[in-house]
Structure 1
């Protein structure tokens, strides 16, 4: 039976030495494509090292030349070498398949009712100064729970954070984008309104998208199923593992992950059963003090 070794790398600290040709490498999340020369170079290096690279909803993140965050990109990512490919950018000129950011699966979105505390809430990217002093503001580095609760308790979200705009859309809020600093905002499927300087006019132009969450989750789940099929095929190709053996491995993984829970539950049941038997044994003693003393003595002997 093949033993899995799972390694999680940060894009800024990849351990290239442990990546083998037969490894499956899943690269996912965030605007990693054309973000900077170093990211492109390192992603291409992974494509050289592994024959089984999957892109899971990566995003393009080009900055305009006039912006102070601009990075010149000379090395292009070799998309043709990616075995299973999707990006979070809708109708991108690359024509690569669209699968939305997988954060749509966050379970907090399922409990989406809160009392409204503010009409307009601002979620700013941590790299920018506060520009709307008249509105309550949080940052995109706050916890997921904080950001989602802030969105749910606001009618309108004014933001320059990609995920704040995306999550607010999934929660059927009106979204206004200000200070766009990269092209990632141009490829959101469910379009926000760009801040014009007249907030009231912008609000009138805003749409809400009632099916955004369900549609995003459906696309994500379907892609996840394809990834599982890819992994099964890669296992058979490199390790000669049949379907029955794969099922056995899945069962073992499930058992190992739940073993401690099962053991603790069984021990608790056994302990409760023993205590009930002991209670019946000592119940004939009329004086409680002596009854408790005998009960504790029996329990200590068992331990």
Structure 2
């Protein structure tokens, strides 16, 4: 069995003196940063590409730090929540993007929201940028049963909230990855169908999509080489007239590229996607849906405009 380096490093960070060295360096970087960005930094390419740091010159390596939800909780646990709250004073903390709300697989994001609520209660500036709900177990019933809003009531305490779901009680702000310049390029269409698949569910699909060009959303490398993997994903998505996907970002990027999308819903995140798509209830029936999807020529412009307008609101917090 291959070693899980990430798991080994996490365990090492909990042991002194290893933890002392790691967290003291992290504390210094947080201390000198004006903006703290927290999101789900995994090997999911959608997560890796969903942070505003990548797309606006206002945010640089000198004034910003990008942390995973797990890392910010580790920092809080190691140094104490009071220490971290003090360290964050006068900074703007941005949570998102990705499916970080109502997630049932683990509660790490809920704990981050609880911490950010404490920060907001003490006068801290918290921004939610491009997050959305993401319930997988019984997700249709869950979304129907949450009442008027699936979002935490504590969002009312945050300075700005922009969500990728549509409609929502706050600003509609889709994933900021729409600003990547690759979407301005013309990618020649070569195939009738291609597939962009969620890696965690690959085992249930088997060889179903072996007859068409396909790629998974799971990058085998780290966030440092995510740019090249993202471009590879976009080129495969762009090469098809129809895109079959069970990934939110597969649906999103294919829509931005002007493709007809056949989506296999696996989470509540699909239910509040702004643009219509062809819904496939059984992945084995995907061929029956080919050619039936919708085209949305204004989607790229709409999504980019929403993000640039949200940046203007964000910048007002700095004045």
TM-score bracket, normalised by the shorter chain, equals: 0.5 to 0.7
**8 Å Cα contact 1:40/1:77 also seen in 2:** no
Match of 1:97 in 2: 171
Structure 1 residues 171 and 66: CA distance shift in structure 2, 3 A: closer
Equivalent in 304, 307, 319 of residue 217 of structure 1: 304
User: Per-residue displacement from partner, 1:52-80 (whole Å, max 9, x unpaired)?
Assistant: 0000111111122489xxxxx9x946111
User: Per-residue displacement from partner, 1:237-268 (whole Å, max 9, x unpaired)?
Assistant: xxxxxxxxxxxxxxxxxxxxxxxxxxxxxxxx
Structure 1 residues 66 and 111: CA distance shift in structure 2, 3 A: closer
Match of 1:171 in 2: 257
**8 Å Cα contact 1:175/1:192 also seen in 2:** yes
Where is the strand percentage greater, Structure 1 or Structure 2? 2
Match of 1:46 in 2: 116
Equivalent in 136, 154, 158 of residue 240 of structure 2: 154
Match of 2:157 in 1: 81
Structure 1 residues 66 and 220: CA distance shift in structure 2, 3 A: closer
Report which structure shows greater RCO (CA 8 Å, sep ≥6). Answer: 2
The alpha-carbon deviation at position 229 of structure 1 amounts to: 1.4
Equivalent in 114, 122, 127 of residue 195 of structure 2: 122
Gaps of 5+ in 2: 1-31, 35-62, 77-82, 141-145, 220-228
> Are 1:144 and 2:144 matched, yes or no?
no
CA distance, structure 1, for counterparts of residue 191 and residue 117 of structure 2: 47
**8 Å Cα contact 1:44/1:77 also seen in 2:** no
**8 Å Cα contact 2:139/2:268 also seen in 1:** no
Q: CA RMSD in A?
A: 2.5
Q: What SS does structure 2 have at the residue aligned with 1:157? A: strand
Structure 1 residues 39 and 77: CA distance shift in structure 2, 3 A: farther
> Are 1:230 and 2:317 matched, yes or no?
yes
Q: TM (normalized to structure 1)? A: 0.67
The alpha-carbon deviation at position 40 of structure 1 amounts to: 0.9
Q: What SS does structure 2 have at the residue aligned with 1:90? A: coil
Equivalent in 175, 181, 188 of residue 266 of structure 2: 181
CA distance, structure 2, for counterparts of residue 158 and residue 62 of structure 1: 21
**8 Å Cα contact 2:99/2:132 also seen in 1:** yes
User: Per-residue displacement from partner, 1:206-234 (whole Å, max 9, x unpaired)?
Assistant: 111011001111111111111111122xx
Equivalent in 211, 226, 232 of residue 134 of structure 1: 211
Task: State which drifts further: 208-217 or 5-14.
Answer: 5-14
CA distance, structure 1, for counterparts of residue 128 and residue 152 of structure 2: 15
Equivalent in 89, 92, 104 of residue 24 of structure 1: 92
The alpha-carbon deviation at position 31 of structure 1 amounts to: 0.5
The alpha-carbon deviation at position 112 of structure 1 amounts to: 2.3
The alpha-carbon deviation at position 3 of structure 1 amounts to: 8.2
Q: What SS does structure 2 have at the residue aligned with 1:155? A: strand
Larger Rg: 1
Q: TM (normalized to structure 2)? A: 0.64
Match of 1:207 in 2: 294
**8 Å Cα contact 2:99/2:133 also seen in 1:** yes
Structure 1 residues 229 and 120: CA distance shift in structure 2, 3 A: same
Gaps of 5+ in 1: 68-72, 233-303
For these two proteins, the number of residue pairs brought into alignment is 221
